Amino acid sequence: MNTTTNDKIKVARWIAWIAAGFSLMVAFLLIANFVQIHLNDPIDNKTIPALIKRLSQDSGDESLKAEIRAFDLMARKAYFTSQWQLRTGSYLLLLGVIISILSVRYILSAKSKLNDIDPVEKINGLDQLVAQKWVIYVGSGLIVIALASGFLSYNSLKEYMVNENLVVQEEKPAEASTPNIQTQAETPADLPNSNGGAPSATTGDNATVAENTAPTQAPANSAVAVPAASAPAVAVPAGFPTMAELKTNYPFFRGAQGNGVAAQKNTPTDWNAAADKNVIWKVKVPKAGFSSPIIWGTQLFVTGADAQARVVYCYDKNTGKLLWEASADNIEGSPAKMPKVTGDTGLAAPTMATDGRAVFAIFATGDVIALDMSGKRLWARNLGVPDNHYGHGSSLIVYKDKLLIQYDTNKSGKLIALSTQTGATAWETVRSSKISWSSPILVNTGSRTELILTTNPNVNGYDPQTGKELWNIACLSGEVGPSAGYADGMVFAANEYAKLVGIKIGGTPEIAWEADEFLPEVSSPLAVNGLLYVATTYGVFACYDAKTGTKNWSQEYGDGFYSSPIYADGKVYITDIAGKTHIVKATKDYQLIGIPELGEKAVCSPVFQDGRVYLRGINQLYCLGTK
């Protein structure tokens, strides 16, 4: 028996030696990574702004544009690769240390049972090594330095991303660039695990979203630009909106179901806002925001925010006249100090939602507000400040009498349903997910309506009436910003440095195909007419066969895409960061219709109504079409 135990001790000794050596190697690599980053400065935060400045002096220099895109892509790849290396290295280091400690403890315990522990000075090999205090001190110090190096290296790279993202907004006026919040990663986003069990769904008023569950009434003067008393009365229909009503209007981010398919016809294809060609009207939204417009009837809504106020704006869609504005203020639980967000997310990134009876908005503070169509506050509440390093980016959507909110943060993932009438919690489902910046979409599968969400690592389907999880597929990774696409019984999900997948739902969901050549970071995929479109931040627009994943074509443009492609009237519209909208026929072959220009940068998606297109640029809100 002693022989058997001695054999085990020998094995444990070898394991301890190997684990200790492995830990030291990983520690040295982490420290070397830290030294390389901070001494050699592989990523120069000033390079892209300097190149942008040169480009402003010669906007036609295509080689300079290519250099900027190449450097930006290199920086992003370095950032995500370093994140993975540092995170993985830290975990491996801890694992190696734990295995070493457990092996040594086993050796000492086994020898104690054998009454065979020699004096310390006679212990050979590993036991003697462990007995030396200086070895313990040096090894422990090395591990601490390695972990600290990993942490500091991570922050350095993340700061580059914050500064680089601000380049997109270099031409914004001072009031638009005031809020600078460190997020996305808050995309605009929480990483779910593979689930495995049913989510917890709580219904009724006892469910808690954050600390504050009671809606708060607005002060009498909550509508500001035009006092609520003088705002034009708007007729409100009874009941829930029909799908026909939703499609006639433009109530949510990416249309009536949130999937990028618009029902409008006779959509324009030719404009040049800088030359005032086919510009029906343009207005400057007082406060900055990256929310796309929504439309109901003759009213158009957007949000804006800065450190002083979070505001909903209502414009006449035909004239551009500001009808009213309402502040999301005096809300119990709302933070006095604004959360930190990045420049390309800000405090007002989520697009609003409307059911034609009321309009709803959410801000990076966690404040949610409901207003009637005349600007009078119906209710408001704070969901708790989202722990989001980029800023909250998930847009809202309405199903019957429920306002649905994807609330994936660093602390937890939640899907929340609030009563559209009162703001009370209808149900809340805890999600096995990490942070995300994607938005929910509503799809009719033929047998039921599903609410589909994307995050890391899951794509999930939920019952929008109860919050019950219907299915999940673990297939994504990273900081997920793109929302899902859907058509013909298939869900499409993608994320940069992960993959593009087609998921067949109905029965048991399964992945039908995967691809990884072109992956979006922010832009959401569009599925229509048996085709799938994706747009990347490095300027590639690609079309796939939706059923098989076979690539039909890809085109590389001069600027990247933050906005999402939208289908309307047989055409696909995608607006790049420079404000150029690339319009192609929704066919298998690449057929370019035109590239009209806005004349300023843009990250919002186009909105269609009555033969016109509405686009929000960094500085102005435009109505484009023939007069």
Q: At 443, which amino acid appears?
A: V
- Return the pLDDT at 2: 61
Choose the weakest-confidence range: 37-46, 397-406, 550-559, 560-569. Answer: 37-46
Read out DSSP for 570-599? TEEEEE-TTSBEEEEESSSS--EEE--B-S
Counting residues of the chain whose pLDDT is more than 90, the rounded percentage is 60
More confident residue, 193 or 8: 8
Q: What is the mean pLDDT of residues 436-460?
A: 96
Counting residues of the chain whose pLDDT is more than 70, the rounded percentage is 71
CB atoms within 10 A of CB 367: 23
Q: Which residues are CB-neighbours of 567 under 8 A, at least 6 positions away?
A: 260, 261, 262, 526, 528, 529, 573, 586
More confident residue, 10 or 428: 428
More confident residue, 445 or 233: 445
Choose the weakest-confidence range: 13-22, 84-93, 476-485. Answer: 84-93
pLDDT tens digits, residue range 68-102? 666 666 666 565 566 566 667 777 777 877 887 88
Choose the weakest-confidence range: 47-61, 115-129, 419-433. Answer: 115-129
More confident residue, 95 or 289: 289
Portions of the chain given CATH number 2.130.10.10: 201-624
Q: What class is the 201-624 domain?
A: mainly beta
Token pair recorded at residue 104? 């040594």
- Return the pLDDT at 570: 97
- Return the pLDDT at 285: 97
Residue 30 pLDDT greater than 70, yes or no: no
Model confidence band, residue 24 (pLDDT cutoffs 50, 70, 90): confident
Q: Is the whole model's pTM more than 0.85, yes or no?
A: no
Radius of gyration of the chain (CA): 27
More confident residue, 33 or 512: 512
Residue keyed to tokens 């790049």: 576
Model confidence band, residue 149 (pLDDT cutoffs 50, 70, 90): low
Q: Is 144 helix (H, G, I), strand (E, B) or coil?
A: helix
Q: Which residues are CB-neighbours of 207 under 8 A, at least 6 positions away?
A: 213, 425, 427, 428
- Return the pLDDT at 112: 64
- Return the pLDDT at 35: 63
Residue 159 pLDDT greater than 70, yes or no: no
CB neighbour class for 120 (10 Å; exposed up to 12, middle 13-18, buried from 19): exposed
Q: Which residues are CB-neighbours of 530 under 8 A, at least 6 positions away?
A: 487, 488, 545, 546, 547
- Return the pLDDT at 15: 86
Q: What is the mean pLDDT of residues 495-508?
A: 94
Chain mean pLDDT for the chain = 81
Residue 368 pLDDT greater than 60, yes or no: yes
User: How far apart, in Å, are the Cα atoms of 245 and each of 141, 232, 237, 486, 614?
Assistant: 66, 22, 11, 20, 19
Choose the weakest-confidence range: 92-106, 277-291, 301-315, 468-482. Answer: 92-106
Model confidence band, residue 173 (pLDDT cutoffs 50, 70, 90): very low
Residue 306 pLDDT greater than 80, yes or no: yes
Residue 54 pLDDT greater than 80, yes or no: no
Q: Which residues of 406-428 are buried (b: 16+ CB within 10 A; e: fewer)?
A: bbbbbebbbbbbbbbebbbbbbb
Q: What is the mean pLDDT of residues 346-363?
A: 97
User: How far apart, in Å, are the Cα atoms of 162 and each of 86, 172, 186, 345, 461?
Assistant: 19, 16, 12, 10, 33
Choose the weakest-confidence range: 113-122, 187-196, 475-484. Answer: 187-196
Residue 198 pLDDT greater than 70, yes or no: no
| Helices and strands per DSSP (H, E), number in the chain | 6, 33
Residue 223 pLDDT greater than 50, yes or no: no
- Return the pLDDT at 354: 98
Residue 137 pLDDT greater than 90, yes or no: no
- Return the pLDDT at 227: 45
Choose the weakest-confidence range: 483-487, 504-508, 512-516. Answer: 504-508
User: How far apart, in Å, are the Cα atoms of 608 and each of 75, 520, 524?
Assistant: 36, 23, 18
User: How far apart, in Å, are the Cα atoms of 377 and each of 358, 373, 422, 451, 580?
Assistant: 9, 10, 11, 27, 37
- Return the pLDDT at 94: 76
pLDDT tens digits, residue range 377-410? 999 999 999 999 999 999 999 999 999 999 999 9
More confident residue, 80 or 219: 80
Model confidence band, residue 477 (pLDDT cutoffs 50, 70, 90): very high
CB atoms within 10 A of CB 447: 7
Q: What is the mean pLDDT of residues 458-468?
A: 97
Read out DSSP for 450-505? EEEEE-SSEEEEE-TTT--EEEEEE---SSB----EEETTEEEEE-TTS-EEEEE-
- Return the pLDDT at 66: 65
